[in-house]
Structure 1
Amino acid sequence: MHNQTFLKMNKVILVLPFLILSSLFVNAQKEQNGIRASLNLSNLYVDEVDDENTKPGFAVGVYFRKGLSDQISIQPEINYSLKGSQINYDGFFSGTGKYRYNLSYVEIPVLANIHLGESLYLSAGPYVASLIAVKVKDVNGDGTVNNVEEYDRDDFNTFDYGVAAGVGFDFTGGTAGVRYNYGLVDVAPNGNGLDNGKNSVLQFFIGFEF
């Protein structure tokens, strides 16, 4: 019964952003559409985030902003986002290096923006994401890549959701800021070297209107 309820909740959370997207397109007024990119500093947390395991990545996508009033706007996005973590190792035979877990997602956040004047704004809202690939790089201490292995995505949770919040500012023709994504789903419930961690991503983003 618990699993059925959890699955129903997942379906509702997954469908909700698409319904909001549809309503925005139907009632489009004062649209601001653009492309965006971000530097991702990602990690996987259990009880707390270990900064030593932070891995750089990126995100690219499009955003759609609609003003509901002078102070509030809704901003759904569709992004490709590279998340994950890294695990350092130091062995007598293996030497020093790190395993980089690269988790590729298609991610849809739906954010509410509160505008504090002409440029500054605060953002918060949910996101849903679908895992499309998992690759692990074995990297030596000198930066040499020993091996790249692709994992079966079915061994991981292919559905993720969480919350996002941040601050940004608008400039002529675009926007920029900082955002934090906090995942609520175990990435690898069966372990796979990731200790049942959840996604944690700090983003530094910039976007340009088109």
Structure 2
Amino acid sequence: MKKSPYFRLVISLTLLIVTVLASTNSSSAQNNNPGPKFGIKGGLNLSQLYVEQPDVEDENMKAGIHFGVFGKIPINIFVAVQPEVLYTNMGSKVSYGGSDFENRFGIETGEIRFNQNYIQVPIALAVNVGPLNIHAGPYLSYLLSANVKNWNSSELSPNVVQQLDTKDFNRVDFGLVVGVGFDIKNVNVGARYNYGLREVGNTNLAGNLTNNSKNGVGQIYLGFGF
């Protein structure tokens, strides 16, 4: 199967992060200076698409998870670069209705759950004030899979089978992350918000249902560094 150039970019960024961590750690060890921290992290996602569409009656956050690896490369005592490679769930729960919804889309009214699974590479700049760190920076994500649940074709259009999957959504997402964390010895806890800058849907139906919406994800995480 042919690989997307964006997929190669995400893999290249991942390999670059690992290489930088390894080389920086070796250099720091030779100079007897504190080296970068490397570890694992994971936690809870609360995501929403914030769909602004006339047929939307209600929208609720969708719970998910994220997990992966992180590094913390010190520039000086106060500032560090914090790259990560994460698997993360995103999406939303959207209730559609309205008098012409079935006529327009051939779909029964009700709740539709958008489920998206990404590999995400955030690279944040962290400012350390004692155990507290404030971090912000860009992220790049590659969509591994997507599906839409709890919806049916309408009785008004019995021959129309409505299906959405990975191909109906943009493979690449990018945006910004901002958060706060506490480093307590080798344990890191914190909260972060992911603000997407790219539209989620890339087809007429997916684009109309999400109405050019972008990912918005709040995260609570726990990490262990070494």
* Unaligned segments of structure 2, at least 5 residues: 29-34, 99-106, 152-161
Offset at 1:24? 3.8
Offset at 1:40? 0.6
| Partner in structure 1 of residue 23 of structure 2 | 26
Offset at 1:98? 2.7
Cα distance between partner residues in 2 of 1:98 and 1:52? 9
Offset at 1:99? 2.0
Cα distance between partner residues in 2 of 1:89 and 1:154? 22
Residues 209/107 of structure 1: CA separation in 2 closer, same or farther (3 Å cut): same
| Partner in structure 2 of residue 202 of structure 1 | 218
> Matched residues, percent identical?
37
TM-score normalized with structure 2 length = 0.72
Cα distance between partner residues in 2 of 1:164 and 1:27? 24
8 A contact 1:134–1:150 mirrored in 2: no
| Partner in structure 2 of residue 43 of structure 1 | 48
Cα distance between partner residues in 2 of 1:112 and 1:177? 15
Query: Of 130, 134, 158, which aligns to 1:122?
Result: 134
8 A contact 2:147–2:165 mirrored in 1: no
Offset at 1:54? 1.4
Cα distance between partner residues in 2 of 1:209 and 1:71? 18
Cα distance between partner residues in 2 of 1:66 and 1:18? 15
8 A contact 2:58–2:96 mirrored in 1: no
Cα distance between partner residues in 2 of 1:51 and 1:24? 45
8 A contact 1:17–1:110 mirrored in 2: no
Deviations 1:174-197 (A, max 9, x none): 101110000111010324222221
State the one-letter code of the partner of 1:180: Y
Cα distance between partner residues in 1 of 2:212 and 2:128? 37
| Partner in structure 2 of residue 170 of structure 1 | 183
| Partner in structure 1 of residue 122 of structure 2 | 109
8 A contact 1:21–1:76 mirrored in 2: no
Aligned residues between the structures = 189
State the one-letter code of the partner of 1:58: I
* Unaligned segments of structure 1, at least 5 residues: 1-7, 140-148
**Range with greater deviation from structure 2 (71-80 or 150-159):** 150-159
SS of aligned partner of 2:22:
helix
State the structure with more CA Rg.
2
8 A contact 1:39–1:203 mirrored in 2: yes
State the one-letter code of the partner of 1:204: I
Deviations 1:188-210 (A, max 9, x none): 03242222210100111110124
TM-score normalized with structure 1 length = 0.77
Establish whether residue 179 from structure 1 lines up as the match of residue 192 from structure 2: yes
RMSD over equivalenced CA pairs, Å: 3.2
State the one-letter code of the partner of 1:63: F
Larger strand share, 1 or 2:
1
Cα distance between partner residues in 1 of 2:195 and 2:181? 18
User: 1:6-17, aligned counterparts within 5 Å?
Assistant: none
